[in-house]
Copies of this chain bind each other. A is one copy, B any other.
Amino acid sequence: MTDALPPPRELCGGRFLRLIAQGHWEYAERTTATGAVAIVAITDDRRIVLVEQFRIPLGCRVIELPAGLTGDVPEDQIAGADALANSARRELLEETGYQAAEMRHLLTGPTSAGMTNEVVSYFHATGLRKVGSGGGDEHEAITVHEAPLDGLDAWIAERQAAGFGIDPKIFTSLWLVREWIRSPYYN
């Protein structure tokens, strides 16, 4: 099947996204970034650091992991192999005010394998120190939450009932932190 696949061609595009056609398939691609990072950061008192922001595509406020693009600023291009971890540090700090002593890669995987070539790299931030208020860059209006891990289901349910979107990546990251880090196959 891969042998028979014609090369991708650009169907049309905007400033930040383009549509690609390849064979009988269509998918979306970011024009300004090479990927995305999402960070699971758990404080010493067992709270997970989450962000809340209005998301134009969904038309509602969404509760998410701290996250952002990579490859969209010059320092990512010169950072080489550390580019992803550097992006994760930067996004965590900008969005939440937390500095992490260590950033450990957990998994890189597709967000919507049929619709886009976007992949997200999940990172586990440890050695957290609150050094700022967060809130994002000048274009973002982010509210920071520290949600209790023991009782997260109630915390989430309350926000769902209030009409917030809930990003499933939160649960992915919790599974990875709980199940993978102790696995002999994870390094």
**A interface list, Cβ under 8 A from B:** 1-2, 5, 11-28, 30, 36, 54-59, 62, 64, 107, 109-120, 122, 139, 141, 153-154, 156-157, 165-169, 171-172, 174-176, 179-180, 183, 185-186
Contacts and interface: CB of A to CB of B under 8 A. Distances in A.
A85 to B, nearest CB: 18
Q: Nearest 7 CB-CB pairs, A to B?
A: A12-B12, A157-B185, A28-B28, A27-B57, A171-B175, A111-B112, A153-B183
Contacts of A18: 19
Main SS of the interface on chain A?
mixed
Nearest to A158: B185
Contacts of A13: 12, 19
A185 B154 CA distance: 6
29 contacts: A14-B19, A14-B21, A14-B26, A17-B27, A18-B19, A19-B19, A23-B56, A25-B56, A28-B116, A30-B115, A36-B112, A55-B110, A55-B114, A57-B117, A58-B110, A58-B119, A62-B110, A107-B166, A109-B165, A110-B168, A112-B118, A113-B167, A153-B183, A153-B185, A156-B185, A171-B176, A171-B179, A172-B175, A174-B175
